[in-house]
Amino acid sequence: MSEEFLKVARAAREAAAELAPLPRAAKDRALRAVADALVEHGKEIIEANAVDVDKAREGGTSEAMIDRLRLDEARIEAIAQAVRDIAELPDPVGEVVRGGTLPNGLELRQLRVPLGVIGIIYEGRPNVTVDGAALCLKSGNAVLLRGSSSAYSSNTALVRIMQEALEATEVPAGAVQLVPGLTRDSVKELMRARGLVDVLIPRGGASLINSVVEESTVPVIETGVGNCHVYVDADADLDLAVQILVNAKAQRPSVCNAAETFLVHVDVAERFLPMALAALSEAGVTVHGDERVAAHGGVVPATEDDYYAEYLSLDIAAAVVDSLEAAVAHIRKYGSGHTDAIVTRSQGAARRFVQRVDSAAVAVNASTRFTDGGEFGFGAEIGISTQKLHARGPMGLPELTSTKWVYTGEGHLRTSKGTVIPASGG
């Protein structure tokens, strides 16, 4: 590992030990100081951001991507406000998750504690730099940020301003670190930093996430790949089903909780498909359907790949299924375990679907778009986990913590005959 990387990783580790026991008030004060500093130094941030924007334009980046990269006064104010909002959220650290007195008199508590050092590998927008840092600080964790090289100048300025703001607070400035370097080597170093980094959270497209999962020896929380399904059951209210389907697909097609495939039960396919295809067409959606769907016209024939696709665009795959069980099997085979919805009036069908679909979230008679930390009332979200260990679904502050068992006795000894408590020696 490079000296440069080890330096920031060790600084984060030391800061994490100092940060972990800090009370909520100290962390909230630090977050407000960070928010103030970002607004105060807005001009510097915009200047640094201009370097990234110019480089992107020279490199021929699309205007849509450049817009995601660009910071202005209003966006910086919004970023600062998000930090203030995180300061208002309850502190997960110290929460007693379970606790009680054991039969032998030991007082046992399971407490929430910070994870330690969290690495975040992300693409695109520089707001993640601040948002990720604020979520980690609030949950008592130090953070190693490895953003997109296209935002390196912006991220460098943002991290420097956050660190300078922390200098005047009880939170150690070392708790927020930008991973140095622009090359893929720095991602590799993060992935190999077992013992220095406690968890890695990749935020971005499927290829970034897969490569981190494959190569990392640091534990990873997978986020965000969403091949979400809407299944229209034989007992569905078809009007509602059309509306849920169009909302799930078209309300915001670029996000992970947007629908990418719909499945319809054969018994209602003849009635549902003309309604659905007309509504989707009106919303500008291209349907990639199997033979039974394509028979209705205006449909692109689907290939196997379409069912695996996370389009993130105004495209949707479609198939007719012969039963609820066939829908579940399709979802288990092609899905990404993010969110899958059933539209049905049947309590039994809903129950079977919920029990058998193995995804982070299952929606019944609701759009898949509700799988979201904000909608769930978490106040903030670091991402949506599609893995089963540690955290599944939208991840808020508690998902950025671990737990610690604490037991308190008065000299409790364990013996082959049970607990013995010797008399105090005074």
Complex with its own copies: residue 298 or 407, whichever CB lies closer? 407
Residue 68 in the binding site for its own copies (CB under 8 A): no
Complex with its own copies: residue 296 or 356, whichever CB lies closer? 356
- Closest approach of Cβ 303 to its own copies, in Å? 21
Q: How many CB atoms lie within 10 A of CB 215?
A: 13
Among 62, 183, 207, 415, binds its own copies (CB under 8 A): 415
Among 371, 380, 386, 395, binds its own copies (CB under 8 A): 371
d(CA 135, CA 89): 10
In DSSP terms, which residues pair with 220 in a beta bridge?
A: 200
Residue 294 in the binding site for its own copies (CB under 8 A): no
- Closest approach of Cβ 420 to its own copies, in Å? 8
Residue 270 in the binding site for its own copies (CB under 8 A): no
Residue 403 in the binding site for its own copies (CB under 8 A): yes
Phi, psi (rounded to 5 degrees) for 120: -120, 125
Return the residues of window 329-368 that contact its own copies according to CB under 8 A. 332, 350, 354-356, 358-367
Give the containing element (helix H, strand E) for 111. Answer: strand 107-114
Residue 414 in the binding site for its own copies (CB under 8 A): yes
Residue 113 in the binding site for its own copies (CB under 8 A): yes
Q: Give CA torsion, residues 294, 296, 298, 299, to 10 deg.
A: -20
3-state secondary structure of 45: helix
Crossing angle (nearest 10°) for helices 73-88 and 127-138: 10
The DSSP bridge pattern shows strands 142-146 and 228-232 to be unpaired
Residue 58 has which token pair? 């020279």
* Nearest to 367, CA basis, from 334, 407, 339: 339
Task: List the x/- string, 19-58, binding to its own copies by CB under 8 A.
Answer: -xx-------------------------------------
- Closest approach of Cβ 50 to its own copies, in Å? 30
CB-based contact 259:232 (threshold 8 Å): no
- Closest approach of Cβ 162 to its own copies, in Å? 24
Task: List the x/- string, 211-250, binding to its own copies by CB under 8 A.
Answer: --xx--x-xxx---------------xxxx--xx--x---
Residue 149 in the binding site for its own copies (CB under 8 A): no
Return the residues of window 79-108 that contact its own copies according to CB under 8 A. 102-104, 106, 108
CB-based contact 61:150 (threshold 8 Å): yes
Residue 195 in the binding site for its own copies (CB under 8 A): no
Q: Is 56 left (phi over 0), alpha (psi -120 to 50) or beta?
A: alpha
Residue 279 in the binding site for its own copies (CB under 8 A): no
DSSP structure string for 304-352: HHHHH----SSEEEEEEESSHHHHHHHHHHH--SSEEEEE-S-HHHHHH
The residue range among 165-173, 290-298, 300-308, 372-380 that interacts with its own copies, by the rule CB under 8 A, is: 372-380
Return the residues of window 171-190 that contact its own copies according to CB under 8 A. none
* Nearest to 18, CA basis, from 91, 117, 157: 117
- Closest approach of Cβ 115 to its own copies, in Å? 5
Which positions ≥6 away from 140 have C-beta within 8 Å? 19, 20, 22, 27, 91, 93, 113, 114, 401
Among 149, 286, 346, 402, binds its own copies (CB under 8 A): 402
Residue 83 has which token pair? 């930090």
Among 17, 25, 65, 168, binds its own copies (CB under 8 A): 17
Q: How many residues bind its own copies (CB under 8 A)?
A: 76
Complex with its own copies: residue 59 or 425, whichever CB lies closer? 425
Residue 417 in the binding site for its own copies (CB under 8 A): no
- Closest approach of Cβ 382 to its own copies, in Å? 14
CB-based contact 177:162 (threshold 8 Å): no
Complex with its own copies: residue 162 or 384, whichever CB lies closer? 384
